[in-house]
Homo-oligomer: A and B are copies of this chain.
Amino acid sequence: MKKSIGIREMIFPDPVMIVGTYGEDGRANAAAFAWGGTASADPAALSVAVRPSRYTYENIMLRKAFTVSLPSPEYVDECDYFGIVSGRDVDKFEKTGLTPVKGEFVDAPYVGEFPVNIECEVSHVLDLGAHTLFIGEVRDVKVDEGLAGDIKGLWQSSRILTYDSHALSYLLPGEEIAKAFSCGLRFK
């Protein structure tokens, strides 16, 4: 039997996206977002949902660029901090000791220590009410050198974090139980 639990956001899993931007004063900022995902293959694009009250919103609107850095487990405390305080009040890179690296292709900084960094230019801005959905066209992806040789195994080897927005938990990637375009063939 099914039970209605009403109208609510309800996708699992969410990514842990650390969005890097520059402020009007040129100061690097990083903030945590869990809502969004891949948006298109060509041009490669992703989405991230940002409340207009956020400092990151202001910064993205100003420079039409941002980065997304994806964290490995050793940085979970830093990620969480990036989601707790506002870059209006504090220099989060300074506080955590992490390194803002100027994007090579876009006017935004990424987190140098995180294993995956995606440089994006804003292609669309979609006002959806509580959140604005930014579509970022990917201009480059950088990964730790040791990971570049095995893109297929990258998520498991770097153990990129997952977010559970109902439990408010950070999760490791789980066990692989099946291969796509394979296990379903039995119904053909």
Question: Cβ of A59 < 8 Å from any Cβ of B?
Answer: no
Closest to A48 in B: B37
B11-A46 in contact (CB<8A): yes
Taken together, the copies of this chain in the complex come to 2
B164-A169 in contact (CB<8A): no
A140-B4 in contact (CB<8A): yes
In whole angstroms, how far apart are the Cα atoms of A134 and B127 in the complex?
Answer: 14
A133-B80 in contact (CB<8A): no
Among A173, A179, A188, chain B packs the most CB atoms within 10 A around the CB of A173
Q: Which residues of A contact B (CB under 8 A)?
A: 1-15, 17, 34-47, 49, 68, 70, 73, 76-85, 95-96, 101, 104, 112, 116-118, 123-124, 126, 128-131, 133, 135, 138-145, 148, 151-156, 160-188
